[in-house]
Amino acid sequence: MLRIAPIGPDDRADWLSLWEGYLAFYEATLSPEQTALTFDRLVADDTIHGAIARADDGSALGIVHWLTHPATWSAGEYCYLEDLYVAPDARGTGAGRALIGHVADWAKDAGCAKVYWLTQNTNATARALYDRVASDTGFVHYQIAL
């Protein structure tokens, strides 16, 4: 059994461990200042949301972060699931599915029109889950770094 709760100030150490695992998975590096800012936003800013999944014994299994934004194609806001990470030893436990479900339930209660996210097309493990819980829209992601 697992439980999902909003990320709070007391979750900093567990969140940081999962966050660092997430960044390592994507071979990304952020400054300590950006990491601290991200955590502070998650616990103090009502525009960026986060949740942590824990096992019955209290161990942290995974994290999810999301935000909403207005949309031109909908009266309701869209919910962007920005980060999802499950610790390698917790994969296959249902934690990823539960974290996505948590965001979807939150978004529905908030009146959002949809939940969407991005992943690398080479992330086969995650995509196997995503293909079961969502629709692949076929869109390709582009960006301009500023």
Using one digit for the tens of pLDDT, what is the confidence trace for 97-144? 999 999 999 999 999 999 999 988 888 788 887 888 998 888 878 888
In 3D, which of 67, 136, 66, 127 has the Cα closest to residue 99? 66
Tell whether the model's pLDDT for residue 54 goes beyond 90. yes
Measured CA to CA, the distance from residue 123 to residue 108 in angstroms comes to: 27
The confidence score (pLDDT) of residue 56 equals 94
The confidence score (pLDDT) of residue 99 equals 98
Query: What b/e readout covers 109-123, taking b as 16+ CB neighbours within 10 angstroms?
Result: eeebbbbebeeeeee
Name the percent of the chain in helix, strand, coil, to the closest 5.
Answer: 40, 25, 35
Mean pLDDT of 68-86: 96
Enter the pTM of the model.
0.92
